[in-house]
Amino acid sequence: MNSMYAGWLALGIPMLLFGLVFLRRHGGVFWMYLAACVLGVGYLTTTGAVSDIGTKALQMVGAMNDKASAPAAKPATAK
């Protein structure tokens, strides 16, 4: 996955969930919130911050996968 797409997902999904949970009943406020989120993510995309966030997110996911797939340590044997 491209780091920019990962950054968009890492930023967009939490913002969208927050808006849906807390602002869903207030139609105009919700749409204004979505417009502000789009503008904010667009600004972060043009400055390159989204790629940095996506790189960090992919590194964190890779670190979790490495820990999960690492073989279990063998117990020490008594002499």
CB within 8 Å of 19: residues ≥ 6 apart:
30, 33, 34, 37
- 19 pLDDT band (50/70/90 cuts)? very high
At residue 63, the pLDDT reads: 72
Helix (H, G, I), strand (E, B) or coil at 62: helix
Contact, 37 vs 50, CB < 8 A?
A: no
Helix (H, G, I), strand (E, B) or coil at 38: helix
At residue 71, the pLDDT reads: 62
> How confident is the model over 32-43, as pLDDT tens digits?
999 999 999 999
